[in-house]
Amino acid sequence: MKTNQKMTVQIYEFGTLKIGHLTQMGDVTQVIEMGNRNRILNGLPPIPSANLCTQNST
């Protein structure tokens, strides 16, 4: 199949991520949202996506 179909992948307890079956690329925004949900569950504040590129560490 030449058309890049969207697949849904379960990432353990973090959630699901939609990726292309040919490119195996997903949406970074979905990954950030999963990470922020995990941070909130662990009592940490969420990191705005705009701040990710300006921080020394994440």
| Domain ranges (residues) in the chain | 6-45
Q: What is the mean pLDDT of residues 18-23?
A: 85
Task: Check whether 46 has a pLDDT greater than 80.
Answer: yes
User: Rounded to whole angstroms, how far apart are CA atoms 18 and 40?
Assistant: 22
Distance of CA 38 to the CA centre of its chain: 11
Confidence of residue 55 (pLDDT cuts 50, 70, 90): low
Task: Check whether 43 has a pLDDT greater than 90.
Answer: yes
